[in-house]
Amino acid sequence: MSNQQNIASKNDSESSKTQSQSIPRQHAKHLIFGAGLIGCYLGACFIKAKQNVTLVLRERFRNQLNENYSISDYQNHSYKVPTLPALCDPKELNEQELKADFLWLTVKCIALEDAIVDIQPLINEKTIILCCQNGVKNHLIVQQAFPHNKVIRVMVPFNVVNDEAGHFHRGSQGHMAIESTPALIDTVKWLAGQLSSQLLPVDISYDMTALQWAKLQLNLGNAVNALADIPVKDMLETSAYRLLLAQLMDELLVIIRKKQIKLPKIASLPNKYIPTVLRLPNWAFKLVAQKMLAVDPQVRTSMWWDLNAHRQTEIEYLNNTVVEQAKRLGIKTPFNTFIVNSVKQAEAGKRISAETFYAQVKKLLI
């Protein structure tokens, strides 16, 4: 990845060896806490990689997995889990002895503080906690709660849909990235090597903050997709929505320049060029952005699912991060502010129709 850097310190190397040797690599115990769409997909990939994994998940997904457990992706790779892993309801945690070597925290940002309480019985002093949340800096909440544990970040750029009971489908491109720190270089390299496959391409990042800002740029469209109430592919093929996405990203890129952050490339185009491509007319966009359009026709963002299920969304950790950061820097963000207000209105039970949203977008772009 473009944001990798060489870390050659002898002390760092010795530290990494010590930490790596403390993990029983051949029998490492992975625990995926809050296994929903992403967590269940990861779980199947871990099983395929012959890893020892336990899934902590709600009853809805547990019932599905007891009937069927399979995954697939937009490139027609697939895998059916031959034997179920250990499945555990969060309510059962205090009754079981489950100490993880690697604890993958896959809950949403809004559930992070509750999850910190629930994972207490699962952690010992050697547990490495991997935070898979959207946004930036959420891992600091976990690190503060577990100051003696190694806490690293994981970036998951792709969408997963639960299109039939027990089946989880990755509908878009992107490599999962695991953060490497000086103390964990060997362990993370081993982990990425064990897990990487066609169904789950894995990279290593040495600058996860920049990577999370790059992902945040792409995630600004989650709310647009939810409010437009159409699949992602249809949204990208609609000129007005692409122009709105370009404006949302431009506001973030102003912040990035002020902060002097160099964004790594995580999509088919360098991040700074994406708004330009989004502004192309339909015929040109379809020619230039073929990889961007390489998503399954049914894929929608997680925020669409949240709004339609009347659940709280992650808008505070996505578009509102741009709004709040911009305020501190004296930058105006009319487009992200519009999106934040629209989603909060929907969360409050006053969701406007897709047609009204489209009309508002057209008016805003004039």
CATH number where 251 lies: 1.10.1040.10
pLDDT of residue 265: 87
* Co-location of 276 and 253 in the same domain: yes
194 and 218, same domain (yes or no): no
Co-location of 191 and 219 in the same domain: no
Residues 241 and 145 in one domain: no
> Of the candidates 217, 216, 261, 225, which has an alpha carbon nearest to the alpha carbon of residue 109?
216
Q: Same domain, yes or no, for 270 and 228?
A: yes
The whole-number pLDDT of residue 267 equals 79
Average confidence score pLDDT of the chain: 90
**Angle of the 334-347 helix axis to the 239-259 helix axis, nearest 10:** 110
The confidence score (pLDDT) of residue 168 equals: 96
Judge whether 170 lies within some domain. Answer: yes
**The pLDDT value given to residue 3:** 40
Alpha helix segments (H runs only) across the chain: 10-21, 37-48, 59-67, 112-118, 139-145, 185-195, 208-219, 221-228, 232-236, 239-259, 274-278, 282-288, 302-308, 319-329, 334-347, 354-365
Nearest CA-CA partner of 162 in 23, 256, 67: 67
pLDDT at 1 (0 to 100) = 40
Whether the predicted pLDDT of 269 surpasses 90: no
pLDDT of 54-67, one tens digit each?
A: 999 999 999 999 99
Of 182, 206, 230, the domain-final residue: 206
CA distances (Å), origin 22, targets 121, 145, 169, 204: 20, 22, 35, 20
What is the residue type of 3?
N
Q: Are residues 171 and 302 in the same domain?
A: no
pTM of the model: 0.88
| Residues 295 and 327 both lie in one domain | yes
User: What was the pLDDT predicted at 254?
Assistant: 97
Residues 53 and 81 in one domain: yes
Is 156 among the domain residues?
A: yes
Structural domain of 184? 10-206
CATH of the domain at 143: 3.40.50.720
Whether 199 and 218 share a structural domain: no
- Give residue-wise pLDDT tens across range 14-68: 333 444 445 556 679 999 999 999 999 999 999 999 999 999 999 999 999 999 9
Return the pLDDT at 239.
97
Domain final residue, candidates 174, 206, 238: 206
Domain end position, chosen among 152, 187, 206 = 206
Residue keyed to tokens 């027990």: 166
